[in-house]
């Protein structure tokens, strides 16, 4: 089964499938349904996955040009809104496209993404800056009665497709070798780290997995206010980049 996936070029999927099968069999062992896990015999048998970094713009002057291009984009109003939110929130593209109104509390300026929609299968809280809330309030009259914040123009039963967002990037002149939607995460991570924000807070906001469960629980419980301040400072900085003729340094975190 894993070889068939490999022959289709699905190397990462093959590794994930092996992990899932191993989890099922280990459960079977624990409940008396099996005696050993045969997937352990396949250690090193599958083709290694080579991680390719996605293109991203991280130099402040180039970021400023990108932001001006984004705000100058004219297309479908929902794509325009998602386009403007992407750098502010730096969530994964699929998380943004499939955002649901039930997850949002605009009065509290919070977006709580359900665990089943997250890559790491843990619920994720995104503090919303004033700028992000303003964009979402403009979208609310258009789609607020439905499920999705950004439904497909073809049917409200599905969210915007990935191609719609990618096409918007291409229309403003950025190729796949220059910038991707996933690149907004790398852009934020790079600049926030360079400006002295605690790596723990940045990683937590990126929803990267914390291996230490006790530490992860502490981070989720204790660092929300720090993340709120960081997200607002980030949004303010992006506004300055976009509207200023001179690139000023980002205020360093203490």
110 φ, ψ (degrees, to nearest 5): -135, 145
Same domain, residue pair 103 and 161: yes
pLDDT for 212 beyond 80: no
Per-residue confidence (pLDDT) for residue 153, from 0 to 100: 86
Residue 182 falls in the annotated catalytic set:
yes
**Average of per-residue pLDDT values in the chain:** 86
Q: Which of 10, 182, 223, 228 is catalytic?
A: 182
Assign residue 154 the CATH number of its domain: 1.10.443.10
Tell me the pLDDT band of 91, cut-offs 50, 70 and 90.
Answer: very high
First to last CA, the chain: 52
- Tell me the pLDDT tens digit for each residue of 43-74: 888 877 665 556 789 999 999 999 999 999 99
Is 119 a residue of the active site? Answer: yes
Does 101 share its domain with 19?
Answer: no
Does residue 8 sit in the same domain as residue 78?
no
DSSP per residue, 222-253? H-HHHHHHHHHHHHHHHHHHHH-SS-PPPPPP
Catalytic residue among 130, 170, 208, 251: 208
Name residues whose C-beta falls within 8 Å of residue 214's C-beta, 6 or more positions apart in sequence. none
In this prediction the pTM is: 0.73
Check if the beta carbon of residue 160 is closer than 8 Å to that of residue 151.
yes
CA distance 198 to 188: 13
Q: Is 148 a catalytic residue?
A: no
Instruction: Return the H-helix or E-strand segment holding 221.
Output: helix 213-222
Distance CA 99, CA 112 (A): 10
254, pLDDT greater than 50: no
Do 97 and 217 reside in the same domain of the chain?
Answer: yes
In whole angstroms, give the CA distance from residue 162 to residue 69: 19
Residue 49's pLDDT is what?
63
Domain assignment of residue 128, yes or no: yes
Say which of 119, 170, 215, 251 is annotated catalytic. Answer: 119
Asked if residue 111 has pLDDT above 70, the reply is yes
Domain count, the chain: 2
pLDDT in tens, 213-229: 545 555 555 588 999 99
Same domain, 16 and 98: no
Q: CA dist 234 to 70, 161, 188, 196, 229, Å?
A: 17, 27, 8, 12, 8
Residue 249 lies in a domain: no
Task: Indicate whether 88 pLDDT > 80.
Answer: yes
Are residues 154 and 119 part of one domain?
A: yes
Catalytic-residue membership of 237: no
Identified catalytic residue from 18, 92, 124, 227: 92
pLDDT score at 15:
83
- Active-site residue (options: 16, 61, 158, 218): 218
Answer whether residue 164 is part of any domain.
Answer: yes
pLDDT of residue 219: 54
Range of the domain at 14: 2-42
Tell me what percent of the residues of the chain surpass a pLDDT of 90: 53
Query: Does the annotation mark 185 as catalytic?
Result: yes
Tell me which of 224 and 209 has the higher pLDDT. Answer: 224
CB under 8 Å to 186, separation ≥6 — which residues? Answer: 53, 54, 56, 58
Residue 41 pLDDT class (50, 70, 90 cuts): confident
Pick the catalytic residue from 84, 97, 124, 185.
185
In a domain, residue 24? The reply is yes
């Amino acid at each position: 089964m894993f070889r068939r996936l490999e022959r289709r070029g699905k190397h990462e999927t093959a590794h994930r499938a092996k992990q899932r099968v191993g989890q099922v069999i280990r459960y079977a062992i624990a409940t008396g349904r099996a005696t050993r896990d045969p997937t352990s015999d396949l250690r090193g048998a599958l083709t290694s996955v080579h991680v390719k970094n996605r293109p991203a713009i991280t130099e402040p002057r180039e970021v400023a040009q990108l932001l001006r291009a984004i705000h100058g984009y004219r297309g479908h109003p929902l794509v325009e809104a998602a386009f403007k939110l992407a750098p502010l929130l730096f969530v994964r593209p699929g998380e943004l496209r499939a955002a649901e109104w039930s997850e949002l509390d605009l009065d509290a300026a919070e977006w709580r993404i359900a665990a089943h929609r997250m890559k790491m299968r843990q619920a994720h809280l995104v503090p919303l800056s004033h700028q992000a809330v303003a964009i979402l309030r403009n979208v609310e009259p258009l789609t607020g009665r439905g499920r999705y914040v950004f439904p497909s123009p073809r049917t409200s039963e599905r969210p915007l497709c990935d191609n719609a967002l990618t096409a918007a990037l291409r229309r403003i002149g950025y190729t796949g070798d220059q910038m991707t939607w996933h690149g907004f995460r790398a852009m934020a991570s790079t600049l926030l780290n360079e400006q002295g924000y605690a790596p723990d807070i940045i990683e937590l906001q990126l929803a990267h997995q914390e291996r230490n469960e006790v530490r992860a629980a502490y981070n989720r419980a204790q660092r929300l206010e720090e993340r709120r301040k960081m997200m607002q400072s980030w949004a303010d900085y992006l506004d300055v980049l976009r509207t200023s003729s001179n690139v000023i340094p980002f205020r360093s975190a203490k």
